[in-house]
């Protein structure tokens, strides 16, 4: 009877967890972890550096740029490279917040910053253009969102004239699509 209760609890947990999360195994250190279907800042920087910026030199995780990026973490080489290239600057308190989920607006800015490292003639689109209904031209992210729209990076369901939803968290599959498309430019 006791074993049946334990089994029922385990099954309930698997069903509950499976509804909103995926199990991802980090190949860098072999540590499995449960994570939401959204990408965090560390994961996005790894995608960005690997697929868009494509560094020619070996990555080094010993930059001590951010107090919350341990040199031995799987993401340190990518975050350090991005910081050294001026793609990320972190927060005024010296943190990067690697585990914080990234918004669509933040991802747009990072993609444009990454592309600027690789494409000398990248044209930043004016913030005054009203490409998406929910992008205020005065918002800090407007030129970045407009730029990735110009280069057709957002997913097909996000068409000019529709909403971009800049403040919602970026889903992992969308992050992969955006960095893949940006890497092909």
Q: List pLDDT tens digits, range 35-47.
A: 559 999 999 999 9
Length of the chain: 185
Residues 54 and 97 in one domain: yes
Expressed as residue numbers, the domain containing 82 is 37-183
How many CB atoms lie under 10 A from the CB of residue 137? Answer: 13
Predicted confidence band at 120 (pLDDT cuts at 50, 70, 90)?
confident
Residues 127 and 91 in one domain: yes
Pairing of strands 32-36, 21-25: antiparallel
Q: What is the pLDDT of residue 48?
A: 95
Cα 160 to the chain's mean position, in Å? 22
Q: Cα(174)–Cα(137) distance, rounded to whole angstroms?
A: 24
Per the DSSP assignment, residues forming a β-bridge with 22 are: 35
Residues 130 and 85 in one domain: yes
Residues 174 and 151 in one domain: yes
Q: Cα(23)–Cα(119) distance, rounded to whole angstroms?
A: 35
Predicted confidence band at 115 (pLDDT cuts at 50, 70, 90)?
very high
Residue range 133-157, pLDDT digits in tens: 899 999 999 999 999 998 889 876 6
Mean pLDDT of the chain: 80
Residues 2 and 59 in one domain: no
Domain count, the chain: 2
How many CB atoms lie under 10 A from the CB of residue 184? Answer: 10
Per the DSSP assignment, residues forming a β-bridge with 25 are: 32
């Amino acid at each position: 009877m006791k074993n049946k209760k334990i089994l029922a609890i385990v099954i309930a947990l698997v069903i509950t967890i499976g509804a909103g999360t995926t199990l991802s195994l980090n190949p860098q250190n072999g540590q499995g972890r449960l994570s939401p279907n959204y990408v965090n800042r560390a994961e996005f920087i790894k995608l960005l550096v690997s697929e868009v910026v494509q560094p020619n030199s070996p990555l080094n995780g010993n930059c001590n740029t951010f107090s919350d990026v341990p040199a031995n973490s799987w993401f340190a080489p990518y975050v350090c490279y991005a910081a050294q290239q001026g793609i990320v600057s972190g927060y005024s308190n010296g943190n990067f917040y690697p585990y914080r989920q990234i918004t669509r607006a933040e991802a747009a800015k990072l993609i444009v910053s990454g592309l600027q490292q690789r494409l000398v003639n990248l044209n930043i689109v004016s913030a005054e253009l009203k490409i998406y209904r929910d992008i205020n031209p005065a918002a800090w992210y407007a030129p970045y969102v407009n730029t990735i729209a110009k280069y057709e990076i957002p997913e097909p369901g996000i068409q000019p004239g529709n909403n971009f939803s800049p403040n919602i968290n970026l889903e992992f599959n969308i992050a992969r699509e955006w960095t893949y498309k940006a890497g092909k430019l």
